[in-house]
Amino acid sequence: MDLFTGTVYPVPVIRVRVRIPPRTTLPPMFAVEPLPLFKDVAVSDRQNLFLRKLQICCFRLDFSNTLKLVREKEIKRQTLLELVDFIQSGSGKITERCQEEMIKMVAVNIFRCLPPASHENTGQEAKDPEDEEPYLEPSWPHLQIVYELLLRYIVSSDTDTKVAKKHIDHTFISKLIDLFGSEDPRERE
């Protein structure tokens, strides 16, 4: 299906191994500093600022420990929100390089190994799904914003569809569909 025109094309299911850029963990002793707001820089500098904000969001943070890297998590969350606002505001077309880097950042954040289903951990038969507590992805506060950024980019009238199709290709869509296998009900919605 073409996301931009709604045309449905029959596509055979082909599994392809894709090398996704590795998620980068924040190096120890590396300080993440908030960047200026888009409104506080010259229009000519906004594309470069957009790229710098994307770089901040490519770092993986440990969400299993709520007390670890609290400041960095908040900076990343705020930066993601600023990126969503920038795309949503219609501040103009973003460059092809910015679009490419944004899709890479989205891929780094959302494409990950999903934990095994809860019944796979014990080797027991699957129980009634309503009897089990669903697995909730600890990084959901950031993942939700990344999904919102992707949505705003796709529906934006400023998105160059030819460029978008180069980066949101069949492989990207297949990996996105695989995420419906997540046990976290919020991600499947």
Summarised one tens digit per residue, pLDDT across range 105-146 is 999 998 887 767 655 555 556 555 566 777 777 788 899 999
Higher pLDDT, 106 or 185: 106
Assign 3-class secondary structure to 23-76: CEECCCCCCCCCCCCHHHCCHHHHHHHHHHHHHHHCEECCCCCCCCCHHHHHHH
Structure tokens at 121: 């951990």
Higher pLDDT, 21 or 94: 94
Q: Are 136 and 183 in contact (CB under 8 A)?
A: no
Q: Are 169 and 163 in contact (CB under 8 A)?
A: no
Q: Which residue's entry shows tokens 């002793």?
A: 29
Q: Are 162 and 118 in contact (CB under 8 A)?
A: no
How high does pLDDT run on average in the chain?
79
Per-residue confidence (pLDDT) for residue 145, from 0 to 100: 96
Per-residue confidence (pLDDT) for residue 13, from 0 to 100: 39
Whole-model pTM: value is 0.75
